[in-house]
């Protein structure tokens, strides 16, 4: 895989490390103001990303097979359409923006576009456990579900996209509406999600704690490998990848 890293912050660097570990190449990296492209001679050329036109030109020069987009809620709505317009498959992990139009464009043009609020394999399994517990306790109204989520102080969206996803899972499985979410933003915590079912005299808790961003990077790279190897097109989800691999159909 020859990948372009769109957004070269902490997650971008973690994805680069995961790509290298799994034997892939990095076609280029860009941050907020410029892009660094790797030439065949091993030289890094810097490009200004001051406009959609300059970004498109830089993408042409990089000629990637796929792009990882981990930018910001403000940048993603501008960056992702450029990538998709160049027919480049995109794995997007930016939360806090409306992906509806990007997904529609990907569907119409049959371009692979996988967006997820969380690329952790553990969280994907947690979601299924939450659904099973909520369905089992649905006949017992004394068990009230709720979520506490904690992330690093620099995370902008609250509640997190993962917390919203888990709340939606709870609502669907339990038949309840308006699941309570408490959000904390502290220090450098990569991410923690606690789902609890509070009864009159007992509590059931399900929890996932991320110890580093490496888990999200690894999941994103494995999902990208799956997306390219299976030839799937249009809008996709991390669940599509996880379900396929869990069933042993397309292990990566």
Active site residue 155: yes
- The active-site residue out of 155, 156, 164, 193 is 155
Could you count the other beta carbons within 10 Å of the beta carbon of residue 60?
A: 9
What residue has token string 């529609």?
Answer: 104
- The active-site residue out of 115, 151, 193, 208 is 151
Please enumerate in sequence order all residues whose Cβ is within 8 A of that of 32, keeping only pairs 6 or more positions apart, or say none. Answer: 49, 75
Closest CA to 70 of 107, 129, 101, 30: 30
Active site residue 115: no
Closest CA to 160 of 121, 194, 126: 194
Closest CA to 8 of 39, 30, 33: 30
The reply to whether omega before 159 is within 30° of 0 (cis) is yes
State the catalytic residues.
151, 155
């Amino acid at each position: 895989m020859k990948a372009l890293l769109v957004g070269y912050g902490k997650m971008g660097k973690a994805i680069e490390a995961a790509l290298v570990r799994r034997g892939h190449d990095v076609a280029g990296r860009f941050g907020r103001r410029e892009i660094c492209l790797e030439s065949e001679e091993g030289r890094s050329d810097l490009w200004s990303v001051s406009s959609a036109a300059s970004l498109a030109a830089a993408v042409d020069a990089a000629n990637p097979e796929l792009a990882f987009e981990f930018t910001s809620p403000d940048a993603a709505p501008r960056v992702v359409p450029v990538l998709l317009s160049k027919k480049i498959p995109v794995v997007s992990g930016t939360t806090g923006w409306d992906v509806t139009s990007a997904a529609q464009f990907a569907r119409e043009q049959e371009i692979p576009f996988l967006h997820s609020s969380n690329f952790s394999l553990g969280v994907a399994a947690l979601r299924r456990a939450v659904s099973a517990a909520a369905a089992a306790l649905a006949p017992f109204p004394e068990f009230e579900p709720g979520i506490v989520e904690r992330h690093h102080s620099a995370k902008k969206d609250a509640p997190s996209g993962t917390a919203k996803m888990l709340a939606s899972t709870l609502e669907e499985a339990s038949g309840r509406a308006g699941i309570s979410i408490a959000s904390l933003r502290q220090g450098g915590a990569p991410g923690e999600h606690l789902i609890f079912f509070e009864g009159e005299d007992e509590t059931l808790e399900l929890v996932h704690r991320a110890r580093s961003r490496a888990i999200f990077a690894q999941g994103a790279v494995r999902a990208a490998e799956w997306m390219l190897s299976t030839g799937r097109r249009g809008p996709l989800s991390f669940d599509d990848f996880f379900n396929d691999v869990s069933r042993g159909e397309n292990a990566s």
